[in-house]
Amino acid sequence: MRHIAVAGIVLIASVAGSSFASAQTADNSPVEWPVYGGDAGGSRYSPLTEINKGNVAQLKVAWELHTGDVSDGSDGRPKSEFEATPIVAGGTMFVTTPFNRVLALDPETGKEKWRFDPRIDLHVRYSEGLVNRGVTFWSAPGDVQTGTCHQRIFLATIDARLFALDAATGNPCGDFGSGGEIDLKQGVANITRPGEYEETSAPAVIDDLVIVGSSIADNDRVAIPDGRVRAFDARTGALRWSWNPLQGDLAPTAPTGAGNVWSTISVDTRRKLVFLPTGSASPDYHGFKRPGDNKWANSVVALSAGTGELVWGFQLVHHDLWDYDTAAQPVLGTLRRDGGETPVVIQGNKTGNLFVLDRETGKPVFGVEERPVPTSDADGETASPTQPFPLAPPPLVSQHLSAADAWGITPEERDACRNQMEKLRSEGIFTPPSVQGIIAFPGNVGGMNWSSGAFDSGRQIFVTNVNNLPMEVHLIPRNQYQPVEKAAQQGALRAEVSPQHGTPYGMSRQVLHSPLGLPCNPPPWGELVAVNLSTGSIAWKVPLGTTADMTANAAAIVQGTPNLGGPIMTAAGLTFVASAMDNYLRAFDTETGAELWKGRLPAGGQAMPMTYRAGRDGKQFVVIAAGGHGKLGTRLGDSLVAFALP
């Protein structure tokens, strides 16, 4: 499940797919960013070098666009989350707003060419708030590029519709579905209310297929919609195949659902493979109605693009009880070690574990071992006796927190945290939820979230942003749940609560925090981490962001904040990332982690940046959505900001 509630952190005191991914470019010809992740395999890498370590400190704002789409929740609409990453394809930039509108822009000036409004209902209680991460560009083969809609923009909306738009005009393609759209809710069982079954990420395309997963409110009850992934004909919208992640020990008899793909899908165009990061089965924190490992939830899965048949699957968490989704986009790259080259899938998880798998077989490159983990004391629950741990790289975040580790900005704050932590069960990362309460660490917002990471194949360095954010989780006996839910609704309880209907327990979770609202673990609470994949070792770690924008007390500023977004990398040895709870886009030295530049943003930058070259002079731009994030609690806005050299 993606839903987060980090705004509880309050300072009360105040490769595959695109040919350009590995080639250096020396002329001034356009270099685009045609897919959400830079290329179809999600490497988030650009060959551009105009902006480099020697001049990056000179970056200035080149243009800024205000979309007009922002909501602070005061008028009954959900809060907005501007998480979109633009693409540049066919000479045009395409970006989505939190209201799911599509804007086509001149990439050199930011001037609007056209816009499309799917007219979602802005007052529905969407599980994920008002959000959309981006669109996908598709072009028909060269021999059939005639008439309208031979180049299409695919948009999947928060109200679960799939649109095909003419890339030149923004008009719906009438030959796709019904008047240019498909209702993705059709044929999906167990949808009980608007806003329960959603789309938040950009679709994937391969050949003549457009592929979508779904975002589902997965801790409400046992019987929720299933997490099927579907491929549609890119021209007509006809369903070509459908794949359900919950197979084997559950399907088709168990009532559970989800296991859905709410994050970004990657594809290998040469091998004709589709790579899916799957979430948890429902509900998150109690699994007596879903015994066994729950394959293929919490996994990375390779499907045949043409048929949707399973090629291989690798499960990162068995029988998930912590909302440890595989939320990060699979990153496809080539690993060089021992004198050879291996095509791999680099897959992170909320646990902070990073798995490097052979792309063709799914076998771990560095080895994985099953280790014993704690047993559950909850009625009806049988936790998995073991969980998989990669032998390399080591965990990217800490995976154990006890009362002895309590932290506070003052001795009184630390003591309050310690007293609370002593009441909670804490036996490492896979401590099963209980009525007593547990410390879930790094927690459901922790480790690698949807931010994912970037891979520089030349340097063999993978960089990702991570969270170290402990959650206090309680199971609530069914006969005690209603008063807890009422207290949360009235604001008397800070926690997020969920009924988990069909199980003996409801659930509550919140950031494990001090009286002032600060996390009870030592900072940094967010970091940027680089991994040398040739050796399977961590190259460097640095805190990401500060709390300077959250407090007027200079003595209380903490290095390293919770973050959502993601990095990109360039051939010049730069890593660009925003994501943190202060309002900056930063550039780091990919090889050392040194911060080389930061540019002030008008609002929170909870999105992945992107870069491209455009215009007659061949100027390189770096662009980031700066609109903030309602749940994370950063400053809201509606800006798309482009930086370039003077």
Helix, strand, coil share of the chain (percent; to 5): 5, 35, 60
**Which range, of 8-17, 356-365, 528-537, averages the lowest pLDDT?**
8-17
Mean pLDDT taken over the chain: 93
Q: In residues, how long is the chain? A: 646
pLDDT the model gives residue 141? 84
CA distance 282 to 303: 23
Q: Where are the domains of the chain?
A: 6-644
pLDDT the model gives residue 11? 39
Return the biggest CA–CA distance within the chain. Answer: 72
- Residue 75: count of CB within 10 angstroms of its CB: 8
- Catalytic: which of 293, 323, 325, 582? 323
Q: Which of 87, 56, 57 is nearest to 572 (CA)?
A: 56
pLDDT the model gives residue 28? 83
The 3-state DSSP class for residue 419 equals helix
Element (DSSP H or E) covering residue 575: strand 574-577
- Check whether 128 has a pLDDT greater than 60: yes
pLDDT the model gives residue 27? 75
The DSSP letter of residue 391 is S
CA distance 72 to 500: 29
Q: Is the peptide bond before 524 cis (omega within 30 degrees of 0)?
A: yes
Question: What is the pLDDT averaged over residues 176-187?
Answer: 97
- Residue 241: count of CB within 10 angstroms of its CB: 17
pLDDT the model gives residue 290? 92
pLDDT the model gives residue 12? 33
**Which range, of 248-262, 298-312, 325-339, 373-387, averages the lowest pLDDT?**
248-262
The residues pairing with 61 across neighbouring beta strands, listed in sequence order, are 643
pLDDT the model gives residue 131? 97
pLDDT the model gives residue 380? 93
- Check whether 145 has a pLDDT greater than 90: no
Fold of the CATH domain 6-644: Methanol Dehydrogenase; Chain A (2.140.10)
CA distance 540 to 457: 17
The strand ranges marked E within 318-432 are: 331-337, 340-348, 354-358, 368-372, 386-390
| Terminal-residue alpha carbon distance, the chain | 43
Q: What is the pLDDT of residues 607-623, one digit of tens each?
A: 999 999 998 889 999 99
- In the chain, % of residues over pLDDT 90: 86
pLDDT the model gives residue 144? 58
- Check whether 233 has a pLDDT greater than 60: yes
Q: What is the pLDDT of residues 519-554, one digit of tens each?
A: 999 999 999 999 999 999 999 999 999 998 887 777
Q: What is the pLDDT of residues 479-496, one digit of tens each?
A: 999 999 999 888 888 899
Q: Are 526 and 562 in contact (CB under 8 A)?
A: yes
* b/e map 379-408, b = 16+ CB within 10 Å: eebebbeebbbbebbebbbbbebebebbbb
Strand order in the sheet with 161-166: 136-139, 151-156, 161-166, 181-183
Q: What is the dihedral of CA 558, 563, 565, 571, to 10 degrees?
A: 40
Q: Which of 15, 89, 111, 10 is nearest to 551 (CA)?
A: 10
Q: How confident is the model at residue 253 (pLDDT cuts 50, 70, 90)?
A: low
Q: How confident is the model at residue 578 (pLDDT cuts 50, 70, 90)?
A: very high
Q: How confident is the model at residue 256 (pLDDT cuts 50, 70, 90)?
A: low
- Give me the residue label for tokens 């400190």: 57
pLDDT the model gives residue 492? 84
pLDDT the model gives residue 146? 66
DSSP state letters, 230-292: EEEETTT--EEEEE-S--TTSTTT----B----S--EEETTTTEEEEE--PBSSTT--TTS-S
DSSP state letters, 46-99: E---SS-TTTGGG-EEEEEEE------STTSSPPEE-----EEETTEEEEE-TT
Q: Which of 621, 628, 636 is nearest to 607 (CA)?
A: 628
- Check whether 10 has a pLDDT greater than 70: no
The residues pairing with 586 across neighbouring beta strands, listed in sequence order, are 577, 598
Q: Are 400 and 441 in contact (CB under 8 A)?
A: yes
Question: What is the pLDDT averaged over residues 320-346?
Answer: 95
CA distance 525 to 545: 10
What are the structure tokens assigned to 620, written together?
């390189």
pLDDT the model gives residue 598? 98
What are the structure tokens assigned to 613, written together?
């070259």
pLDDT the model gives residue 416? 98
Q: What is the pLDDT of residues 39-48, one digit of tens each?
A: 999 999 999 9
Element (DSSP H or E) covering residue 215: strand 215-216
Annotation says 323 is catalytic: yes
Q: Which amino acid is at 632?
A: L
DSSP state letters, 98-151: TT--EEEE-TTT--EEEEE-----TTS--TT-EE----EEEE--GGG--STTSE
CA distance 454 to 431: 30
Q: What is the pLDDT of residues 593-611, one digit of tens each?
A: 999 999 999 999 999 999 9
- Residue 30: count of CB within 10 angstroms of its CB: 16
Q: What is the pLDDT of residues 429-455, one digit of tens each?
A: 999 999 999 999 999 999 999 999 999
CA distance 619 to 60: 13
Q: Which of 61, 51, 36 is nearest to 589 (CA)?
A: 51
Q: How confident is the model at residue 248 (pLDDT cuts 50, 70, 90)?
A: low
The DSSP letter of residue 559 is B
The model carries a pTM of: 0.95
Quote the Cα angle for 231-232-235, to 5°: 145
- Check whether 8 has a pLDDT greater than 50: no
**Which range, of 3-17, 297-311, 380-394, averages the lowest pLDDT?**
3-17
